[in-house]
Amino acid sequence: QVHPVESGGGLVHPGGSLSLSCVASGREFSINAMGWYRQAPGKERELVALITRGDSTTYADSVKGRFTISRDNAKNTVLLRMNRLKPEDTAVYYCSAMTITGPYWGQGTQVTVSS
């Protein structure tokens, strides 16, 4: 079992910045990759950004150039720095820790971009 716990999130104006953090506890040695997903009301959950243990990254087209994912393997922590936020970035953001037995999800944190 792996238990991701998110922190950060909140309300920000369009064009602003916000950072999310996720710490994974439990069988940390089994984590191959960690990522951030989001789900807006009435929409399906979608990948935002992913980072592997070897620091390879993947981003959704909608966030490329604005969001940056990074991780500290020693601390089992993954960060998501979000710049130039847009109203369409409003969603619940979930941290996911991916292992050989499947993904483990955090509870989610709300990000609202509004003036």
Give the chain's mean pLDDT.
93
Long-range contacts of 49-57 (CB under 8 A, 24+ apart): 49/80, 51/78
- Token digits of residue 24: 């994974």
106, pLDDT greater than 70: yes
**pLDDT per residue over 24-36, tens digit each?**
988 666 788 999 9
The reported pLDDT for the residue numbered 30 is 76
**pLDDT per residue over 43-98, tens digit each?**
999 999 999 988 999 999 999 999 999 998 777 899 999 999 999 999 999 999 99
> What is the rounded CA–CA span in Å between residue 2 and residue 110?
22
The reported pLDDT for the residue numbered 28 is 66
> What is the rounded CA–CA span in Å between residue 108 and residue 14?
21
